[in-house]
Every structure is written in structure tokens, then in C-alpha cells.
Structure 1
Amino acid sequence: MKVKYVILTLLILTASPVLSQSTATQLSLDVKTIMQDPAWIGSQPSRPYWSEDGKTIYFYWNPENADADSLYRIGIGGGEPEKVSLREQKSLPASSGVYDRSYTRKLFSRNGDIFIYDLKKKKLRRLMKTTDAETSPRFSHDEKSVIYRVGGKLYRYSLRDGTITQIVEIKSGKKKEEPKEPKDPAEKFVRSEQLSLIEVLAERTAKKERAKKAREAGSDKVPVYYVGPFSIMQMQLSPDGRYVTLNLREKKGGGKRTIVPNYVTESGYTEDIPSRSKVGGKQAKTKLMIVDLQADTLFTVKPDDLPEIFTIRPYTTVS
């Protein structure tokens, strides 16, 4: 990463006389200058990344002192930095993403939608456009599908015909239990008498049971699993499609958060700024769980059971 910044800085300083001159200008540093807006330093390039063919460096820059940085590019041979138009940016792949094994296609998520970029043809294709936030796209093991996530739901998108299949759904909290038979003898007697005396209630109950069994027998239900008071940080399908790994974090874990008041607000009232807990406070719990789709089970991975997990090895010297 440091090498990228060095190359980018050298290219821009060599190619831009204006920037070079402003950099070479002697500044008198005093407390007043240092404490004012950092704009006196000049605009500095940020977030550099390579093009897919390695011939161009893209970076964000604001030499015009606009409200926000803009995307620029410069060739590895030098030259003048060139501003990239908004229209052209839409046709460019994202700086991050995942590649297939042949390194000819790139998958990435942008603004909640999933795109695939053909590196040979230099063509970008949007796979879906929805109001949902599709994230974490990956190629399936056979590279014929795209596995992606929408919240706690995991989907498979076929690159052949565009069909979408939901694989699993993970929810926080506990599963809502079905109404149970009353344990109290008096309540049990009253319910039994009520159903026997009122024929309409008995028929209605029986009809619900028959409809429920018919739905379960005739539908291929998407498995749903509950993980208690945890939120999903990451979920991933195994190459063989049988398992789903879940990295979870406790929702209300950690120590008490500090309160930072914000006095300069649009509402005119003092508002609280969300802040972190104090250093050394209690950390939120995390855990790893695995869904076995074939066995329809969910289990927790306990590192305590790993052999010699608590064994402290002595330092060794390699000569």
C-alpha cells in the first residue's frame, strides 16, 4: 500500500506544475497557520487504486476546492492527471471485488446492486437492480452462479438463466412457539368442552391443521434458523453447498458507551453523538456457528475443544 502512495505522489508531482509550484512555496508556519483550516496545505490525492490492466492509477483529488473529491486518473508513464466524468465512472469496475479462477471476470457490489465485469471485453453488466441491499457477492464453486447476501438471507443467482434461489435465512432472536396444549387440568377441560360443544370451532381447528400439513408436504421450504441475541457479521456458503458459516456478534454486548454532546445542531437542541465504550471495558461476545443444510441443523463451533488450544509453545529459533 505504501508503494502505491509513493508512485502516485511522484506521478502527480511530476505531471502537475501547479501542484509542484504550490508544494515548493515556502510557508511560514506559526500557531495561527497551523490551527486554521487545513486547506492551506493544498489538496492531496487519496484512495489510489490500479486499473484492471495495470496501466492506469485512479485516485480521488480536489484541486478545484469543490465540495467533494472527484475521481482522477493518470497513466503509469506520467502525464497530466485527467478528471473522470460521472458517466464514465458508471462503466468502470469498483476498486475492490472478487475474481473467478481464470481472472477474466470480477464480481462486486455497488450501491446495493451486484455487477460483473468482463476483464477481456472491458464490459460491465448489472446483474440485478432492486431496492434491497445485495452484498458480499462470490462465485459458486463451479463458477456458474453468484452467491450473495441480503441481510440475513443467502441467495444463489444463476449466470446461465438469471433465476434466483434462496438458500437459507438467518434471524436474530428466538423462534415463535406454536400455542401449546394447556397443562392446567381445568384449562384443558374447558378447552376440550369448548371444542366439543361448539362444532364450528372444532371444524375450524381441524381445517387449519389439514391446511398446514398440505403446505408442508407440497412446498420446498427455505430453512430458517435463529441465532438469539446476535447479529450477522459475515455468512458464507461452503464450496460443496452443504454448509453455511456464520460469524456472529452480540447485539447489546460491550461496555457502557460514552455520551458526547453536540451543541451545534440543525434542530437547535443539544444532541448526543454515538460514541464507543471506554478503553478496557467489556467487549461484545462473538461466536462462529455452522448450518448443516443437509442435516437441517445449526451448531456452535467451540474452540475450547480443539486439541492443545491452550498449550503455550516455547519460542524456537530458526538458524
Structure 2
Amino acid sequence: MSLGRMLRPAVLLLLTLITVAPAMPEARAEPFIIAHRGASGERPEHTLAAYERAIDQGADYIEPDLVLTQDGVLVARHENEIGGTTDVVDHPEFAARKTSKTIDGQQITGWFTEDFTLAELRTLRARERLPQVRPANSRFDGLYQIPTFEEILQLVRAKEAETGRRIGLYPETKHPSYFAGIGLAHQAPLLALLSKYGYQTEADPVFIQSFEVGNLKAIRAVSRLRLIQLVDSQGGPADEPGTSYADMLTIEGLKQVADYADGIGPAAAMVLAPEGATGLVGRAHDAGLQVHVWTLRMENGFLPAAFQRADDPQGRGDFAGYVQAIAHAGVDALFSDFPKQARAALNPTTDPRP
């Protein structure tokens, strides 16, 4: 038998493997960008307008924080207390709904999504949460409703059809043990909606994030979607009072996180301190975890001292320098209220976007 005929079966087998093997993730020269609550530096956060602007500016993922209504509908708000992000205070018919609750060990007074049906929330309008910092966003007050998670999914599908590119989703379960304790658990409606719109495996552009642990473990038991354990420089998971985030970020702690999650989401200062990189990225990578840092903003008040500019008339600092320094620390992704400017900092040759 000739050498060519002997090699032919091996070549055919190799071609078959190449054809049917799943595509490996494309190597990235820069971290991907998660639009934090949408393009919330330019539109009131958690509105369809903020998400659409972020998509138009080229964000890789958009991030809705998810809470629930009295009738079990997932809606996008940073917190279940909505006094500071809607015009509920201007609705006398809801004055009696103002109350105080203990959530994650803190007493909070205001109006809460779980005390409203979706139909009632539809009568409210979104407001800029930081009007003193972002006065230009206040011109949009009163224009937008609180969106449901399904409406966000529908927007993403429509924009994918328009642009021809995949747009990632990065939902956060807010206060999951609190909501589960009042009979409004996130898991079932969240996974049902994601499945309805075709998000079912680790190949789909979805990360589910939480500062708690139990809900991530419960999702991991029934889903292949990727999960991110959020962490902070202080405190610990509300559902595990005996555990601190510091414990979770030791070498052994990171290994335990890797048993149920695909990455960690630390505050940016936990990755880049004034004296330089902290080494957290390397330890997490050694444990097989991605690192997605939050949250990069342009205003001086949110920037480390080294990147602040006292002479800027808009009160903004060296945002590009900060983004580049965070990227240089080796992170896999970053959250930003300003996806357009973050993209420009990472890739100055990128075509200008809206």
C-alpha cells in the first residue's frame, strides 16, 4: 500500500475532527466591555434607552440588575428600593407603600418593587440616580419605564438582527436570598426566560453574577450557563455570614469558588492598588477563574487619586489612562458606565460610535 493511501484515513479523521469540534473561544488582545446598567453615564441607568445606547456604542455585554415584582416578574433596577431611581415619590396613590425593611442586615426605608405589581410599576418613570454628578442625564427624567428582563432580551435580539453581531447579557441577581425568603426566588424565572430566548449553555454569551453564593450553586446544579462570583474588599456573602470575601480570595478559597463559578468580579481597587497590581488576577487565573472588574467611571469622584484631574471643567479625570492600567493588570473584562470611552481607551483606532 502506498504511503499516500496509508495516510488518507488519518487525514480524513483529522478533517472530520476539525469540522465537528466546537470552536475554541477567540483569543482576545484586550478585555471585553460590560456596559454597567447600560450606558449609564449618558442615560438613566437600567432603561431600554441606556441598554440600546450601550449596544450602539459597541459594548460586548449589557448588565441588567434584576429584582422582582409582587407578581413575580423580573425587572431591571439596581436595588429593589426605587425611591431614588423613579418618580414614585410624586405618586400620592402609592404614598402608603413607603415602608422600612431589613435587607441583607441593613434597614432601608422607601418603596420596594416586591410591593408593586408590574402593572403598578408601569405607571412610574425612571429618573437619573446621580443628578449631582450627571446633571445632563436628568433631561431624560420621566421618559422611560422600568423595563422587564424579557423586554431587555427582546431588545438584544432586535439589535442582533440589526447589527449582525452577538450581544452578551450579564444579569445580576440582586438580594437573592432575601427574595427567596419572601417567596420570589430569581432562579426559575431567570433560567426560563434565558432558555426561551436560546441561552442554555456555556457557549452562549451570558454570565450570571451574584454577591451571594447559594443561588450560584443552585444555578450551577441545573444549568451550564457561566457564573461569576462577585466579591468586595470588605464584608462577605449575605447568605453565608460566617464567610468573608477575603477568605474566598485566598488560594484555597479561589479553588472552592472555581467548583461552582467561572470567574470572580472584584472591585477594580482589589486588582490595581496605588502601589500597583495586587496579584489577585494571577491567583484567580491559576485557579481557572476569569476576572471581571467593576466599575470604571469617568468622574473624578470615582477615580483613584493618580487618575483624577482637578482642572477638568466637567469634573472628569484620566479615564483612558485608568482603563489602560486596569487592562494591563491582566483582567478578562471590565464594567463601565461609559462603554464608548472604555472601548476608545483600549483601542484608540476604533471607529467612532454614537
Provide TM-score, normalisation by structure 1.
Answer: 0.24
Flag the structure with larger Rg.
Answer: 1
Q: Which has the higher contact order (CA 8 A, sep 6+)?
A: 2
Give the helix-richer structure, 1 or 2: 2
